[in-house]
Amino acid sequence: MKIGKYNINQQSPIFIIAELSANHNGSLENAIETIRAAKRAGANCIKLQTYTADTITLDSNKDDFLIKGTIWNGRKLHELYQEAYTPWEWHEKLFAVADEEGLICFSSPFDRSAVDFLESLNTPAYKIASFEITDIPLIEYVASKGKPVIFSSGIAELEDIELAIDACYRMGNREIAILKCTSSYPAPINESNICMIQDLANRFGVISGLSDHTLGVTVPIVATAFGARIIEKHFILDRSIGGPDASFSMTESEFTEMVNTVRDAESAIGIVDYNLTEKQIKGKDFSRSLYVVKEVKAGDVVSINNVKSIRPGFGMHPKNYSEVLGKTFKVDVTIGTRMDFNLIN
């Protein structure tokens, strides 16, 4: 999968996305500075959300349109999204700032008009948000544009993921990534099920990763160990500015810590390679080898008393120990001499 200049595959560095979401809190200046801070924090990408309150829901007072059981409990959907949306007239500027900073920028569209708008900005990819993974018509329209499509699994059951992938396939689009996501805000660590990252990749033959709403860096680090190729976290300048997503978003210092720890984890995981580095080869000096440990005379028998496996590792390999025992020395040998077949009969 290629997004802009980034090739995302099983060998590439993890593609790290900073999710702007509602964290501009209604200020274009906040949004711009958030992009610049995301660059400083080590993100590869800034992601927006493209909707209006009217394109995502209805302005209704009916009970169905009241939020229940979340941090936004009791609020109307329309009211929440009116507060949280990123004005469309900002998008061109935000894409440009991201480009200036060397960051990829794309967005989550929530209806066809948002897709058309993002196409006019030459978006390099699309993200299907957690709660839109069941919107098959929207997915088909997104996939028809031929750009990479990244899904958050969120509320999806197995059949929902299968239907979403099939929708992409029908449009001839196989550039698909699926991010393990727990749609809870913030999400409890014990509901993360990070082992699913490997299963998503193996089961569906796609790039897999993590869209994370937990607090802290633990879950992204575990995701790295389980093969995540994409990690997404909500990003905010300062939680004190408030906003609907502030409580589960990372500040610049927290995001920087996460990026650095993920990169360290990637480095630690490495590759399967039984060849030694120069430092490791040098370390073999401290391994065991066979040495003469007592003064011996020509004709003496090699025994466990006069030849032993000790450090350092410059003498004969210990694998030959049983072979040399019982042989006789051809010459006198001083203590501390490396054992060698030339010394014995």
Distance CA 108, CA 115 (A): 9
Q: In CATH terms, is domain 2-269 a member of 3.40.1010.10?
A: no
pLDDT (0 to 100) of residue 70: 82
pLDDT (0 to 100) of residue 330: 97
In this structure, is the dihedral angle defined by the CA atoms of residues 230, 233, 234 and 235, taken in order, positive or negative? negative
Name the residue with higher pLDDT: 281 or 230: 230
Mind listing the pLDDT tens digit for each residue in 41-60? 999 999 999 999 999 999 99
How do 307-310 and 289-292 pair as beta strands? Answer: antiparallel
Q: Is the pLDDT of residue 241 over 90?
A: no
Mean per-residue pLDDT, 185-208: 94
pLDDT (0 to 100) of residue 185: 81
Q: How confident is the model at residue 72 (pLDDT cuts 50, 70, 90)?
A: confident
Q: Is the whole model's pTM more than 0.95, yes or no?
A: no
pLDDT (0 to 100) of residue 32: 98
Q: Could you tell me the residue ranges of all domains in the chain? A: 2-269, 278-343
Q: How confident is the model at residue 22 (pLDDT cuts 50, 70, 90)?
A: very high
pLDDT (0 to 100) of residue 52: 96
Q: Is the pLDDT of residue 335 over 90?
A: yes
pLDDT (0 to 100) of residue 95: 98
Q: Is the pLDDT of residue 230 over 90?
A: yes
Q: How confident is the model at residue 36 (pLDDT cuts 50, 70, 90)?
A: very high
Q: Is the pLDDT of residue 64 over 90?
A: yes
Report the CATH number of the 278-343 domain: 3.90.1210.10
Mean per-residue pLDDT, 17-41: 96
Q: How many CA atoms lie within 13 A of 221 on its CB side?
A: 13
Mean per-residue pLDDT, 257-270: 96
Q: How confident is the model at residue 318 (pLDDT cuts 50, 70, 90)?
A: very high
Q: How confident is the model at residue 73 (pLDDT cuts 50, 70, 90)?
A: confident
pLDDT (0 to 100) of residue 169: 98
Angle at 190 between CA 185 and CA 192, to 5 degrees: 65
Q: How confident is the model at residue 40 (pLDDT cuts 50, 70, 90)?
A: very high
Q: Tell me the pLDDT of the chain averaged across its residues.
A: 95
Mean per-residue pLDDT, 70-92: 92
Q: What residues pair up with 296 in beta bridges, in sequence order?
A: 333
Mind listing the pLDDT tens digit for each residue in 290-313? 999 999 999 999 999 999 999 999
Mind listing the pLDDT tens digit for each residue in 122-180? 999 999 999 999 999 999 999 999 999 999 998 899 999 999 999 999 999 999 999 99
pLDDT (0 to 100) of residue 43: 98
pLDDT (0 to 100) of residue 46: 98
